[in-house]
Amino acid sequence: MRLSKSFFKKLFRRKITIIGAVILVIIISMALLSPLIAPYDPMKINPIDRLQKPNSTHWFGTDNFGRDIFSRIIYGARITVLSGFGVVIFSIVFGVILGSLSGYFDTLGMFIMRIIDVVMAFPPIMLALALVAILGQGLINVIVAVGAVYLTRTARITYGLTLKIRKDAFVEAAVAEGAGNGRVLFLHIIPNLISPIIVQATFTFAFALLQMAALDFLGVGIPPQIPSWGNMLSSSQDYITRAPWLLLFPGIFIVITVLSFNLFGDALRDRLDPKFKDEL
């Protein structure tokens, strides 16, 4: 990817993309600086203050344990961003390895892609549910379970791109010059996959946040004592008539975070080499 000045200029041509970028910066700073921003300990239980409406001491109100929602949202950004990155890294690393190898070696490709196709026929949430049940509830395990779902998509895309690039003149030239498989794969093919993969990563991040929130909601996501936004929503459903603010704030934060990633991904894709556009 050519990170020139004009690239950024074009990327941020639309105002909405700038808004998206600003929100992302805010969320990421919330995640990094949580202890400095949060007014209360997010885990501190205080039964006397339970289910308080938003007010001047508790900006977003308190939950059924009397914990401060605002502080939990701030710390929630940390978990949410961290787990999102976890899924992206897991799915991209393994997806690219499987996808490019399958695209490069035909027989292996047939075998791996066959399995990946079958796995893709499983509804993502059912797959993630089953994987969490197998691995047990835990932050890393949920990342792996959701990562596995998106791994298949990344692998499929990488596979398609690799097939395409393999036939490009420069790759064929390198092969003709006697370059080994590893060299061709790592020096010629994978570097050319980077920009579409970054775009894919942005969307994966957005989808992964939604998927993990859904798992949290079903009670099989990140362990419930960790204040992820999804977990906060999950425990709010018992109080929707009495304490709707429990539902409101974490939801809004999920929506704007996912939205910013989507906006950002869209802008990146528009700037992308048109050769790859069809695949994404």
Partner 1 sequence: MLAYTFRRLLTIIPTLLIASILIFSFMHLMPGDPAAVMLGTNATPEQVEKLRVQLGLDRPIYVQFATWLQEAFRGDLGDSIFFQSPVLSVIQNRAETSIFVATFSMLIILILGIPIGVISAVKYNTLLDQLTMGFAMLAASIPTFWLGLNLMILFSVNLDWLPSSGFPSVLESGNLNNLKYLILPCITLAAPNSALIIRLTRSSMLDVMKEEYVKTARAKGLKESIVILKHIFRNAIISIVSALGFTFIALLSGTVVTETVFSLPGVGRLVVQSVLRRDYPVIQGIIFVVVILYVFINLLTDLSYAFLDPRISYE
Partner 2 sequence: MRKNVTLILLLAFLLIGSSMVMAQEKGGTLRFAMIDTPPSLDQQVITSDLATIIAQHIFEGLYTFNSEYAPVPMLASGSEVSDDGKLVTINLREGVTFHNGNEMTSEDVVASLERWGEFGVRGPVLFEHIDKVEANGKYSVNLYFSEAFSPWKSMLAFINGGPVILPKEIMENANEQPISPQEYIGTGPYQFNEWNTGRYISLTRYEDYAMREEESDGFAGQRISYLDELRFIPVPETGTRVNGVKAGDYDYAQRMQGDMYESLKEDERVEVLVNQGAQFGELFFNQKEGLMTNTKLRQAVLAALDMEPVLQAAHGHPDLWDQNGSIMPEGTIWYSEAGIEKYSQGDPELARKLAEEAGYNNERIRFMTTTSYQTMYDSCVVIAQQLSEAGFNIDLQIYDWATVATRRNDPAVWDFFYTWHGFVPDPILYTFLSPTYPGWWDTPEKRNLVGQFTKTMDQEKRTEIWSQLQEQIYNYVPIAKTGDTYTYDITSPSVKGFGQTSLIWPKFWNVWIE
Are the C-beta atoms of residues 234 and 216 closer than 8 Å to each other? Answer: yes
Q: Which does 255 bind (CB under 5 to 8 A by kind): partner 1, partner 2, none?
A: partner 1
CB nearer to partner 1: pick between 108 and 118: 118
Distance in angstroms (rounded) separating the CA atoms of residues 66 and 57:
12
Distance in angstroms (rounded) separating the CA atoms of residues 138 and 38:
24
Side-chain half-sphere of 279: how many Cα atoms within 13 Å?
Answer: 24
Q: Which does 134 bind (CB under 5 to 8 A by kind): partner 2, partner 1, none?
A: partner 1
- Could you tell me which of 48, 47, 27 has the C-alpha nearest to residue 37? 27
Q: Which does 122 bind (CB under 5 to 8 A by kind): partner 1, partner 2, none?
A: partner 1
For the chain, the first-to-last Cα distance in angstroms comes to 16
Are the C-beta atoms of residues 71 and 39 closer than 8 Å to each other? Answer: yes
Partner residues linked to 68 by β-bridges: 62
Q: Which does 37 bind (CB under 5 to 8 A by kind): partner 1, partner 2, none?
A: none
* Number of residues in contact with partner 1 under rule CB under 8 A: 42
Side-chain half-sphere of 116: how many Cα atoms within 13 Å?
Answer: 24
Local structure of residue 64 (DSSP, 8 states): T
Return residues touching partner 2 (CB under 8 A): 43, 45, 47, 50, 64-65, 133, 136-137, 219-220, 223-225, 235, 238-239, 241-242
Residue 25 binds partner 1 (CB under 8 A): no
Angle between helices 139-166 and 69-104 (to 10 degrees): 40
Q: What does the block give as tokens for 10?
A: 């074009």
CB nearer to partner 2: pick between 107 and 225: 225
Q: Which of 160, 247, 272, 279 binds partner 1 (CB under 8 A)?
A: 247
- Could you tell me which of 228, 94, 73 has the C-alpha nearest to residue 150? 94
Distance in angstroms (rounded) separating the CA atoms of residues 163 and 143:
29
Residue 280 binds partner 1 (CB under 8 A): no
Q: Which does 129 bind (CB under 5 to 8 A by kind): partner 1, partner 2, none?
A: partner 1
Residue range at the interface with partner 1 (CB under 8 A); choices 1-9, 50-58, 140-148, 205-213? 205-213
Are the C-beta atoms of residues 170 and 188 closer than 8 Å to each other? Answer: yes
Binding mask 136-155 for partner 1 (x = CB under 8 A): x-------------------
Q: Is the dihedral of CA 76, 77, 78, 84 positive or negative?
A: positive
CB nearer to partner 1: pick between 149 and 165: 149
CB nearer to partner 2: pick between 149 and 216: 216
CB of 223 to partner 2, least distance (A): 5
CB nearer to partner 1: pick between 69 and 220: 220
CB of 251 to partner 1, least distance (A): 4
- Residues lying near partner 1 in the complex (CB under 8 A) are found at 16, 114-115, 117-126, 129-131, 133-134, 136, 206, 210, 213-214, 217-218, 220, 230, 233, 236-237, 240-241, 244, 247, 251, 254-255, 258-259, 262-263, 266
